[in-house]
Structure 1
Amino acid sequence: MRIDFLSRSVVQSRRSPARPSLRRYIVGISQSFQKVAPFQLYDYVQSKIKLTVTPWITYLGITFAMIMIVCLAEFQIPLPDQYVVSGMLLTLMLSLYNWDLHKRSDISTTLSRYAIIFCSAYFGWHYLYWRATQTMPYGYGIASEVAGWTLLLAEAYGFIMLMFNHLVNIHPVSHPIPDLPKDEHNLPFVDVFIPTYNEDINVILPTLAATVNLDYPSSRFTVWLLDDGGTDQKCNQSDSAKAALAKKRRDNLRSLAAQYGAKYLTRSNNAHAKSGNINNALTKSQGDLVAIFDCDHIPTRDFLKNTVPFFLRDEKLFLVQTPHNFVSQDPIEKNLNIPKGPGENELFYEVMQPGLDFWETSYFCGSAAVLRQPILKSLGGIAGLTITEDAETTIDAMKRGYRTLYLNKAMVSGLQPETVTGMIVQRVRWGTGMLQIFLLKNPWTQKGLTFVQRLLYTNLIVYWLFAYSRLALMLAPPAYLIFGITLCETTPSQLLAYLAPYLLSSLIVAQHYYRRVRWPFISQVYETLQSIFIAHAMVKVFLKPRSPSFKVTPKGEFLDRHFLSVASRPFYVLLVVNIVAIFSGIGLLQTPGAHIDAILFVLFWAVLDSLFLLAVLGVTHEKPQRRTAARVGLRKPIKLILSDGSLIDASTEDISWRGARVLPEFWTEFERNTVVSVMLAPGKCLPVRLVDSSVTSRDHAGALAVEFVLENSEDVVLAVDWAYGASSDLVTMAHSRRRARSILGALWLFVRLATLSGPRHIGHLLTTARLPNIQWKRMATDGLVIAHKVLRRWSIARWRSLRAKTPDRVNAQPVSRPSTAVGAEINAGPIEGDWDIPPVALEGGRA
């Protein structure tokens, strides 16, 4: 029987002679739940009678469950009884979690999920009710009261996001792909749009080559290359150099479109950016459907074959959205050298969108989607009031009663931003655009939306408030260690009764939902990096909702050296503040009468925050990006055809449309720049040039680096189709990335990455700074000694002053707390499933 980490961790933490039967106890509980009669009975009934879980049935069940949870959570019981109740519910959650890993049947998995959600919601509401009614730091001054309420609001936000996570993930759905009609005259006509702006031609070319090669009758679709970088406005601008570049771009793209059999289209101006570009094309197209691909999203050949059939079954269907599958690393993965694992977007496209689809709320993501063209035109085209035109367009369609569908199958190969600044531009646009929707087109004021649709759109908007929560959590340890601000008051026994179950249940829930698509702690690095910039941008949008302009995410950038991103500057300040707080805490430990447990806890918290900041600095230490095309790790059999006509069996290790790493079955000497042929499939050959024969491979004696010699458009189409054309290859790659990692394993990986990459950034900063030759090591040592003495004397004086002012408490002890277990890290909202350190630090409690 498999016992996952959450049960293994309990066993491993108590490997002592005094507890020899604990493992057998937990295993026995898990096994016994697999034999529970009600579940077997339900499986039997499900096999005999078709029972369908509908949104309305689920909604009624949630309403009834929430009423029960509120009533139970507000019922206060003695602490000893609370320990027993919490232990029983946590044992139930652990057992159901392990049982769900076996996936006996869909209905059993559903019931397990319902039970875990109920227990988690109970622990969360019970904790929050206790926090709000019994732990607020009244009587410690205005600063403590303001800080206490700020922290409570952050915890309430985290609990709300937890409830949204439960609502979204309660019953994810999947759709089987129907067959297309055999008579091509019964197929709808599809217009394929590729909007472009300032992207390099090497980014656009493979997408164009893939779209003209789609497995769909050629008479039933047209490809349009929409050029917003060569508009009349761009070509006639006052800057003559920029105008010349725009004219050259227009000529190049027009020629490229003609070469590949696509239509080229530009317009007079750049009004409304991407949405205006697409809407201009809608005035020229007459198709039944429109497929939209960002110019860096290369579709597989079966994209239309898999998406179009859904429109033939449902006349009210407006949208079929598919995942954005990325084949390149984002800056965090690349700069931290994170091992192969799930990408940041995997959680949203693999878990959240199927959950939204159950509630008929899956939405347009701007690319890799097919829309019904007459409906889109009736809406006035792609919406342009906000800079998140995709989500806004979905609201316009839903409020008129049209439906959307999410097909969870990877069918595009996309590019991530290459630099940290490029990624921040993208995420700031997403966050500010969703806030714009809330301010300018609030879902609660739009007639025609269902209650759950309004609720889940609110969830997508409120999620971006994680930036403020993250900053508040980052500043909490310095507030306590440097300024002595009390954030709440409680006792250790109360923490054990209320906080510990909440934290443990949050761990179980996060692993239950996201164990294969999100690694703990790594996603917090993403949040920390984005928080400052998103928080600043959202303040500006709140003051001026119409002020943001659409900024295209840079793609296909070429980086030829290491450098420090300008985005690193604010994190220097935060790191220094945390280091000062750590030394202040060390000084407090040496003061007479200090509350050692509280100080040690907050010190641990400050150290953990410092590790996050070091990891962010490691991210902003940009690495070179010299490849012009993203490579995918696929093993494909090929044959090398030598000049004498002999064949060598070989396989690939990674490939792109520009080249590959080839592993020959037996080694032979090749000269550099030798041109041979590669047989990709029977009757499909391409000439290749040997670039390097000294390439190493992890599990092969030798490897060859080759590049394709692409002489015409047919060669390009063949190379692109071979590298990215099979959706089965993308699905296999996506599944290979989704590997679960235990909490301890993820923690070790995070600590290792932070401690290696952060100092590397600092070393680069010191070695490249134009400063006089100074003995840095000696200066740093002397500075630390002096700082320690100063902080120790100051801390003693401050602590004595605070103790003299602190009122006596009879039955409560002051507590300084950073955050809740879920409020801290599950506050990532609809696309986050992580956790933070325990949220409460004792200031005056007794063990």
Structure 2
Amino acid sequence: MFAFDPVTVSMAPAILVAGLCLMILPLFRPDHAVVRAGALALVVLLAWRYMAWRFTSTLAPLEWSVDAVASWTFALLEGGTVVSSTLAFLILSRTRDRKREADDHAGWWRPGPAPRVDILIASYNEEAAILERTIAGALAARHVPTRVWVLDDGRRPWLRELCDRLGANYLTRADNAHAKAGNINAGLKVLAALPDPPDFVAVLDADFVPHRDFVHRALALFHDPKVGLVQTPQHFFNPDPIQHNLGIERAYPDEQRFFFDHIQPARDAWGIAFCCGTSSVMRWSALMAIGGFPTGSVTEDFLITLRFQEEGYSTVYLNEALTEGLAPEGLGEYITQRGRWCLGLIQIVRGPMGPFSKSRLRLVDRLGLLDSFLYWASTYPFRLACLVVPLLYWFFGVTVVDASVPGVLSYFLPYFAAVLIVLNWISGGLIVPILNDVSQLLGAREITKAVVTGLLQPKNQKFKVTAKGGDRTRIVVQWPLLMPMLLAFLATLVGLLYAIVTDVVFERDPGDGKSVIITWTLYNLAVLAVTMAVCIELPRRATAHSPGATPVVVRFGTQRMRGWAMRLTAEDAWIRGGPLPERGASVELDLPAIGGIPARVTRQESAGIALELQPSATQRVALLTQLHTLEGAAGTRQTELGGLLTALGGRTLRGPRS
């Protein structure tokens, strides 16, 4: 007869859950309705099984003591994250893909005339190069008739001249009231006064370039007269700060991929997809029915979805790569952007369109709002609390989670394993431990602050613009972000080493639960170490490049070099091939559909040459259009685990590269 120790026995539930998931889920597609719902139901069941154990077996006695206050506060915060996850998993249990619907209803207006579409580009302080490519892309839209309007809240004469040169309309206003929403509303007033106002309005941020078929594909879903807004996903042609500073952009997708590729399609299946500002198209009559863009929140995009719903218009989601834009390049901008999203959502929750308001919103709309609120209000404060809990034990002897190793293995591990396996099955591997925690930890302070500010003082909050462009050629250490991480890392390390060296025993000793605290501590050290690496911002090259190798010809004198453009922007190129012209030589880069572009060789290596391009104004516009408006998604879409580990290992060994 076999005898098993308690640790081995406690592993059985996790092994059973992982085994079942790994055997069954790969046999089905992630959009299989029954299997998807069943897998997520299992995750929810295990989550609440875990929370039942937490509240019945791991908390300090309910009394007025430091241990009790810390223990119950952390448990309630963790409970909030489980409530949030439960709502999120309920929403994820469905998904919808409207590509076939867009195919079936393309050109639904025929034999009548094509609807007029006005593309609005909202701008404030972006650089000329950013605006130039967006305007060029908008003017290349396949749909006719289309007009392009640049709404300039920066009142810049050079932008008016750029619009005149490219053929776009230019509008500005006397003040910046209500920020982006006010800017768009000022433009809508001008359009409404025209003898031929549009039938639909597309909205783009200044750094988002539409593909040629953006308008055409989005319009197809307006065959239903009750559709007020079509939202499309955001894709980025540059890595975000986490990808770039860790050197993992080729192996790990941007932080927003799970939202745009999986959460929005799931919300669409429930009828609660929402506007994300840029890359959306709206029905003109619906906009007029709600009086234009609402101004009660710094996230006017989410709010406009609720206003449309009140008037009987739905927001739908077309998950196709129809635009590509610029992700925040610096950590400061990255965190500012997410803080603004959080604050805007809290303002909505506290306003007349909140989940408990007397508005005409449906129950499902209210649940969708509650889901978003709980995500911001619980996830990020909980991430901060997870750093503090081990420190309370190491320095003060406060046992916040009084859990044994068998208990953790029996109750937490099955839940953790199920979450990882099921969500990675749904998303194709987007959920990576440590990296997901890093993205949360980076913005945790700013977002927690935004939650408190939004709840206590929701009105009169300024719109914080996400800066784009600027000089990114130097290593920049973000000390305001890095120092708190470094202090937390050192405190965690000192606490752990002190406990090991002294073998300290506190009055309330957790027994074998000390191993749980040690494991928790080591995980925190790993998260903090990676987060600190992200806080060292590495130099960036130009942010626009070709999606892959392009066959080209370089002419110099009487010779021709046939090769491949491995990198191509409107300013420079890297060409592999031969024979090689000398450094400093004047050459001509022959590109399909553009012709010969004058260039100068700035570097010569055995593998190829670097070119400084000198295109004419016409060639530059054609090149920008070719680079950014063709079909296909920019950036990395799936996690490649081998490449991810290799990149992280290389980043660790090399350190910051210049």
Q: Same fold judged by TM-score > 0.5?
A: yes
| Equivalence for 2:163 | 257
| Equivalence for 1:415 | 326
Q: Could you say what the CA RMSD is over the residues aligned between the two structures, in angstroms?
A: 2.9
| Equivalence for 1:98 | 26
Amino acid at match of 2:120: F
Structure 2: tracts of 5 or more residues without a match: 192-196
Check 1:428–1:184 CA distance in 2 against 1; reply closer, same or farther (3 A cut).
farther
CA drift of 1:490 comes to: 4.8
Q: CA contact under 8 A between 1:173 and 1:358: conserved in structure 2?
A: yes
CA drift of 1:585 comes to: 2.1
Separation in 1, partners of 2:47, 2:616: 63
- In structure 2, the residue corresponding to 1:187 is in which secondary structure? coil
Are 2:409 and 1:524 equivalent residues in the alignment? no
| Equivalence for 2:373 | 461
| Aligned residues between the structures | 640
Q: CA contact under 8 A between 1:634 and 1:655: conserved in structure 2?
A: no
- In structure 2, the residue corresponding to 1:226 is in which secondary structure? strand
Aligned-residue sequence identity (percent) comes to 27
Greater Cα shift, 476-485 or 458-467: 458-467
Amino acid at match of 1:450: R
Residue by residue, what CA displacement relative to the aligned partner does 1:187-212 show, whole Å, maximum 9, x if unpaired?
11011111110111111111111111
Check 1:451–1:183 CA distance in 2 against 1; reply closer, same or farther (3 A cut).
closer
Check 1:188–1:116 CA distance in 2 against 1; reply closer, same or farther (3 A cut).
same
CA drift of 1:383 comes to: 1.3
Are 2:132 and 1:205 equivalent residues in the alignment? yes
1:281-292 to 2 correspondences below 5 Å: 281-285=187-191, 286-292=197-203
Q: CA contact under 8 A between 1:481 and 1:602: conserved in structure 2?
A: no
Instruction: Pick the structure with greater CA Rg.
Output: 1
Separation in 2, partners of 1:86, 1:601: 17
Separation in 2, partners of 1:592, 1:433: 45
CA drift of 1:278 comes to: 0.3
Separation in 1, partners of 2:7, 2:535: 47
CA drift of 1:549 comes to: 0.7
Structure 1: tracts of 5 or more residues without a match: 1-17, 19-77, 231-248, 696-700, 765-847
Separation in 2, partners of 1:649, 1:751: 36
Amino acid at match of 2:381: Y
Residue by residue, what CA displacement relative to the aligned partner does 1:788-837 show, whole Å, maximum 9, x if unpaired?
xxxxxxxxxxxxxxxxxxxxxxxxxxxxxxxxxxxxxxxxxxxxxxxxxx
Amino acid at match of 1:211: A
Q: CA contact under 8 A between 2:13 and 2:410: conserved in structure 1?
A: no
CA drift of 1:748 comes to: 8.5
Amino acid at match of 2:51: L
| Equivalence for 1:244 | none
| Equivalence for 1:318 | 228
- Hey, which of these two has a bigger chunk of helix by percent? 1
1:289-300 to 2 correspondences below 5 Å: 289-300=200-211
Separation in 1, partners of 2:465, 2:86: 33
| Equivalence for 1:703 | 608
2:76 to 146, 150, 153: 153
CA drift of 1:461 comes to: 2.0
CA drift of 1:749 comes to: 6.7
2:523 to 582, 605, 608: 608
Separation in 2, partners of 1:580, 1:81: 34
Greater Cα shift, 385-394 or 373-382: 373-382
- In structure 2, the residue corresponding to 1:375 is in which secondary structure? helix
Are 2:181 and 1:275 equivalent residues in the alignment? yes
Separation in 1, partners of 2:113, 2:62: 76
1:580-659 to 2 correspondences below 5 Å: 580-589=494-503, 597-627=512-542, 629-644=543-558, 647-659=560-572
Q: CA contact under 8 A between 1:642 and 1:677: conserved in structure 2?
A: no
Separation in 1, partners of 2:371, 2:654: 36
Check 1:601–1:496 CA distance in 2 against 1; reply closer, same or farther (3 A cut).
closer
1:43-62 to 2 correspondences below 5 Å: none
Separation in 1, partners of 2:342, 2:554: 49
Q: CA contact under 8 A between 1:335 and 1:618: conserved in structure 2?
A: yes
Q: CA contact under 8 A between 1:83 and 1:497: conserved in structure 2?
A: yes
Separation in 2, partners of 1:516, 1:79: 29
Separation in 1, partners of 2:467, 2:7: 56
1:221 to 136, 146, 149: 146
1:313-462 to 2 correspondences below 5 Å: 313-340=223-250, 341-440=252-351, 441-462=353-374
Separation in 1, partners of 2:86, 2:240: 29
Q: CA contact under 8 A between 1:321 and 1:364: conserved in structure 2?
A: yes
Check 1:446–1:398 CA distance in 2 against 1; reply closer, same or farther (3 A cut).
farther
Amino acid at match of 2:148: V
CA drift of 1:400 comes to: 1.9
CA drift of 1:639 comes to: 2.9
Separation in 1, partners of 2:277, 2:253: 22
TM-score by structure 1 length? 0.71
Are 2:430 and 1:507 equivalent residues in the alignment? no
Amino acid at match of 1:581: G
Separation in 1, partners of 2:557, 2:592: 17
CA drift of 1:493 comes to: 4.1
Amino acid at match of 2:608: A
CA drift of 1:626 comes to: 4.8
1:578 to 474, 492, 501: 492
CA drift of 1:90 comes to: 4.6
Amino acid at match of 1:99: L
| Equivalence for 2:194 | none
